[in-house]
Chain A
Amino acid sequence: MTAHAILTLAWLLVALYMIFIYAPSDVNQGNVYRIMYVHVSSGWTAMIAYFLVFVGSVWYVWKRSPFADDVACASAEVGFIFCSCLLITGPLWAKPIWGIWWTWDARLTLTFVLWLLFVAYLLVRSFFINPGRAALLSAVVGIIGFVDVPIDYMAIRWWRTQHPQPVIMGGPNSGLPPSMEATLFVSAGAFLCLFFYLLRQGLRLAEARREIGQLRRLLSE
């Protein structure tokens, strides 16, 4: 087991301890609010993932770097997983608190669009057989689609939404008790550590595929 894997596992275990043991119950929501720790952490990680898709895509279009393409693709794949967790945990928290599974407010709609952008990126990659064309067209999705991320992040600050107002860096009268805030940051850190671990695994896969491609070309000569 690598050092990164051990660090990720340890961090996740600490986060789980803080989520279920250290952090107190909420006065209004009881224990179900603890979904927040995995929900918010998934959300932040998904947005960071798409930022990496954007950076990798720009870098690829500019320099045609295979590594940049690998970063964008691996980030999209892992980001899709985290965004899916975000969309799974949201309704499971919403139903007991709001009484509804879903509503088409700005935040939820833009997050669903983000998920669709991850899907679109991965579909474009798999649709084209020519690797260069697949990389370029998916990079276009990665660049244009990034517009969604800052608007999604700011949606709960710019508009009145069903989704709660921000608890971190929100306005006056916002915020969490210190124990909950600490638990949230530890959880978010654990999720980010997991994201980068999975990203590295994805980059290893890409490197192996590239080496296989080179060997196949060598054999066909």
Chain B
Amino acid sequence: MSDPNNKFLFIAYSLVWIVFMLYAWSLARRQSKLRRDLEELKSRTALRDIPPPREP
């Protein structure tokens, strides 16, 4: 005979799973954005180090 309280067990574990998945997604999104920003800034600092063209 199924226990009517099992739905609370299912909901609890489902919500915990959802919370952690959402947080993991948030972390991954922020890491991705920071990585892109870092690469862009590194390329801009590298460009500044390029010597100016020689005069004719």
A joins B in a complex: yes
Give A contacts to B, CB under 8 Å: 29-32, 34-35, 38-39, 42, 81, 84-85, 88-89, 92-93, 95-96, 194, 198, 201-202, 204-205, 208-209, 211-212, 215-216, 218-219
How many angstroms from the CA of A93 to the CA of B5 in the assembled complex?
9
Q: What are 28 A-B contacts defined by CB distance under 8 Å?
A: A30-B3, A31-B3, A31-B5, A32-B5, A34-B9, A35-B9, A35-B12, A38-B12, A38-B13, A39-B12, A84-B19, A85-B15, A88-B19, A89-B15, A92-B12, A93-B8, A93-B12, A96-B8, A194-B20, A201-B31, A208-B35, A209-B34, A212-B38, A215-B41, A215-B45, A218-B45, A219-B41, A219-B44
Q: Across the interface, name the chain A residue whose C-beta is closest to B42.
A: A215
Chain A residue nearest to B19 (CB atoms) is A85
Q: How many residues of B contact A (CB 8 A)?
A: 25
| Contact A89 B31, beta carbon cutoff 8 Å | no
Query: Do the beta carbons of A38 and B16 come within 8 Å of each other?
Result: yes
Within 8 Å by CB of A32, from B9, B23, B30, lies B9
In whole angstroms, how far apart are the Cα atoms of A39 and B8 in the complex? 13
Give CA–CA (A81, B16) in the complex, Å.
9
B46 to chain A, nearest CB (A): 11
Q: Which residues of A have CB within 8 Å of B20?
A: 81, 85, 194
Question: In the complex, which residue of chain B has the Cβ closest to the Cβ of A38?
Answer: B16
In the complex, the answer to whether B45 meets A31 with C-beta atoms within 8 Å is: no
CA distance A147 to B45 in the complex (A): 46
Q: Are A92 and B30 in contact (CB under 8 A)?
A: no
List B contacts of A201 (CB < 8 A): 27, 31
Residues of A within 8 A of B44 (CB): 215, 219
Per CB-CB distance, the 8 closest pairs between chain A and chain B, nearest first, are A215-B41, A96-B5, A32-B5, A208-B34, A92-B12, A30-B3, A35-B12, A89-B12
Please tell me which one of the listed residues B5, B19, B41 contacts residue A81 in the complex, with CB atoms under 8 A apart.
Answer: B19
Minimum Cβ distance to chain A for residue B4 (Å) = 8
Chain B positions within 8 Å of A93 at CB level: 8, 12
